Amino acid sequence: MSTIERELESRSELERTLRERERELADLKARLAEWEETAESTPQRETLFSTISGREVKPLYTALDRTEASDEDDLGMPGSFPFTRGPYATMYRTRLWTMRQFAGFATAEETNERYKYLLDHGQTGLSVAFDFPTLMGYDSDHPRSLGEVGVCGVAISSLADMEQLFDGIPLDQVSVSMTINGPAIILFCFYVAAAERQGVDVSELRGTVQNDILKEYQAQHAWVFPPEPALRCIVDMFEWCSENTPKYNPISISGYHIREAGATAAEELAFTLRNGFEYVERGIARGLDVDAFAPRLSFFFDVHNDFFEEIAKLRAARRIWARGMKEKYGARNPESWRLRTHCQTAGVSLTAQQAENNIVRVAYQAMAAALGGTQSLHTNSMDETLSLPTEKAVRIALRSQQILAFESGVTNTIDPLAGSYFVESLTDDLEAEALELFDEIDALGGVVPGIEQGWFQQEIAASAMRQQREVESGDRVVVGVNHFTEGSEKIEIDTLKIDPDVEKRQVAKMAAMRDDRDGARVRETLDALREACGADENVVPRILDCARAHCTLYEIRAAMEDVFGAYKEPVFF
């Protein structure tokens, strides 16, 4: 055949394929119309057919729901752009997600024991829950800490506490996640200094510090400094970590708290990723090479009740991030495109009524996280609407992950829901909604102006109120709460009680520590830190010096606050 003949041949072949495809579509449309007729004449249950986020779900999805999308562009293969099917090529065939239960209570000593217990029971990473004083940058002996020391997490006020927290746990071998934001840079320095004291090479440290201040202003509210100096500290961390702790994630860009505060799935997705891009812009504005810090940006999402919407959300998140990083921010290293995430089941979905039912809720949510391709997972304990979890409740939560990973079979193949008309359509819709919300945020002038105007806060509160109304009207069924109740809703399970002496012990320990240390060294390092805060200098080395000199959390916070000021919340309600 001549070249021309070959071309004509392939063109007619193409035309034949197109005609065939058109015929198939026409055929599908006809069959769908027929089905619709049947469906319309069949009575339906009187209930909401929408997701918990208020998204209407159609009774049936077909190939017609994705005609415009191209699988090659939108899905790709796992481990390659745009990562919809997973951040890694072989996913759980190579490595299961990290089973990481968030834990902390009372003093460093007691929490250290719980960590050893969890590691002994097959947990593969640690996750530190700090008490409220620590989260807000107050020492255990500060007057504002009264009544809250060690109650909702572990009290860590100095290097000595951090050392005790990881006593006997080699920090070059266990990856540790720390949920701390306002004073994150200070706790991070305590951690690095504790690793130094263990004799560990700090460049070997693996783990994550949450350090996501934007969502604190939007949802979680554990802030210390105003946005601009807080963002500067975060970029200081990006810079310092990329040079000194290259395996450590200096941020976990978190949707979890946004969702728990009331946001919908689409809002969680959009606000979180837009916050992520804000950090990228700040790093670039500092003059950092995007590919030097972006590979260590990590994420944290909620996995709520609506099974498919949550799976689609995680798939859409990877695609939006990859596209933004490559196309908008010019990242060239594929590691910068790859969204890696931790997930936690939805605390807000747990019920105090018939608390054992929570085991089942958590199991479904955990399965959604696995099918969505998470890299690590915390499963909530059944008793967490009553108190911090007991050892037994935590063990069941961890076992739920092990049953999922080793018995259910979901880890055998990668992204098993790909190609589902429904899941792909949901993924497309969530991506489109997130992009629309990006435009709204841009119209406000960006993330920080949106926070200052209270826009995020009001959007989240409005969504929370809508969900509350659905529950109170009984339209949104919550088993054991508004339907299937048992009359007496008396709580029948054991709860964890924190010894009220914890505060006294912690305060006494701090007094002894203050007596022991070199006061002159404390003053010198704090003065040097104040100077660095006012200058064009990375503050991490200065805070590290303070940590090594046994300055306390509040002393360091106060020195920084002298220069940075404190954040004042605009109250919107």
**Closer residue to another protein, CB minimum distance, 161 or 216:** 216
- Closest CB 562 distance from another protein, rounded Å: 20
Tokens of 71: 């699988």
**Closer residue to another protein, CB minimum distance, 123 or 210:** 210
152 touches another protein by CB under 8 A: yes
Q: What is the spatial distance between Cα 418 and Cα 402, in angstroms, rounded to a whole number? A: 24
Tokens of 223: 């802030």
Sheet strands (E) in 161-225: 176-179, 207-209
Q: Which stretch binds another protein (CB under 8 A): 145-153, 226-234, 236-244, 336-344?
A: 145-153
CB of 177 within 8 A of CB of 207? yes
- Reduced to 3 DSSP states, what percent helix, strand and coil does the chain have, rounded to the nearest 5? 55, 10, 35
Q: What is the spatial distance between Cα 339 and Cα 322, in angstroms, rounded to a whole number? A: 7
φ and ψ of 127, to 5 deg = -145, 120
146 touches another protein by CB under 8 A: yes
305 touches another protein by CB under 8 A: no
Tokens of 383: 């008793």
| DSSP annotation of 299 | E
**Closer residue to another protein, CB minimum distance, 259 or 274:** 259
Q: Contacts with another protein: how many residues (CB under 8 A)?
A: 44
- Residues in 457-496 that interact with another protein by CB under 8 A: 461, 464-465, 468, 471-472, 478, 481-482, 489-491, 495
Indicate the helix (H) or strand (E) that contains 569.
Answer: none
213 touches another protein by CB under 8 A: no
- Per-residue interface string for the shown chain with another protein, residues 115-134, x marking contact by CB under 8 A: -----------------xx-
Among 99, 103, 118, 135, the residue binding another protein under the rule CB under 8 A is 135
Among 386, 414, 549, 558, the residue binding another protein under the rule CB under 8 A is 386
- Closest CB 567 distance from another protein, rounded Å: 10
- Per-residue interface string for the shown chain with another protein, residues 219-248, x marking contact by CB under 8 A: -xxx--------------------------
φ and ψ of 146, to 5 deg = -50, 125
420 touches another protein by CB under 8 A: no
Q: Is the dihedral of CA 409, 410, 415, 416 positive or negative?
A: positive
- Closest CB 271 distance from another protein, rounded Å: 15
- Closest CB 144 distance from another protein, rounded Å: 7
Q: What is the spatial distance between Cα 203 and Cα 568, in angstroms, rounded to a whole number? A: 37
- Closest CB 495 distance from another protein, rounded Å: 6
352 touches another protein by CB under 8 A: yes
Q: What is the spatial distance between Cα 485 and Cα 415, in angstroms, rounded to a whole number? A: 37
**Closer residue to another protein, CB minimum distance, 182 or 207:** 182
Q: Which stretch binds another protein (CB under 8 A): 325-333, 383-391, 431-439, 556-564?
A: 383-391
Q: Which among 557, 553, 558 has a CA at the least distance from the CA of 158?
A: 553
Among 59, 122, 147, 246, the residue binding another protein under the rule CB under 8 A is 147
**Closer residue to another protein, CB minimum distance, 152 or 195:** 152
- Helix, strand, or coil here: 568? coil
- Per-residue interface string for the shown chain with another protein, residues 425-464, x marking contact by CB under 8 A: ------------------------------------x--x
φ and ψ of 343, to 5 deg = -130, 155
Angle at 174 between CA 168 and CA 179, to 5 degrees: 100
* Strands of the 207-209 sheet, one edge to the other: 102-103, 126-129, 176-179, 207-209, 248-249
* Strands of the 98-99 sheet, one edge to the other: 98-99, 376-378, 341-345, 297-303, 251-254
| DSSP annotation of 294 | G
136 touches another protein by CB under 8 A: yes
**Closer residue to another protein, CB minimum distance, 333 or 354:** 354
Q: Which stretch binds another protein (CB under 8 A): 30-38, 255-263, 442-450, 537-545?
A: 255-263
Angle at 264 between CA 260 and CA 268, to 5 degrees: 70
Binding site for another protein (CB under 8 A): 132-133, 135-136, 138, 144-148, 151-152, 216, 220-222, 260-262, 348, 351-353, 385-388, 461, 464-465, 468, 471-472, 478, 481-482, 489-491, 495, 498, 569, 571, 573
